[in-house]
Amino acid sequence: MTTLSAKNKIEFVPGTHPCPAKDHSSFAAWNRCNNMLVSWLVHFVSIPIRQSIIWMDLPVDIWNDLKTRYSQENLSRISDLQMEAATLS
């Protein structure tokens, strides 16, 4: 979040910077920033995760998918990850 804020891109993640109309003068800049963030997010995660998010076009969709998978509210997933971490050697 700090990096995105420093790059002035933080508003793309929660979706508060909506896509302008394709004929609007700011569309090209918005689209370039959107694609950059999608690329960053896709390349930030491991390959198995990447395969499930690579077809998403908006950072907010990727972020929400990752949040759903790894948020603290998913106690079953937390337990699975802790078990995996405990058995790593």
Q: How many folded domains does the chain comprise?
A: 1
Q: Do the beta carbons of residue 59 and residue 34 sit within 8 Å?
A: yes
Alpha-carbon span 77 to 70, nearest angstrom: 7
59-68 burial code (b ≥16 CB/10 A, e <16): bbebbbebee
**Does 24 score more than 80 pLDDT?**
yes
**Does 18 score more than 80 pLDDT?**
yes
| pLDDT tens digits, 50-81 | 999 999 999 999 989 988 887 767 778 878 88
Give the per-residue pLDDT at 82: 87
**Does 21 score more than 90 pLDDT?**
yes
Interacting residues of 50 by C-beta distance below 8 A, sequence separation 6+: 42, 43
* Helix, strand, or coil (residue 70): helix
Give the per-residue pLDDT at 88: 82
Average pLDDT score over the chain? 87
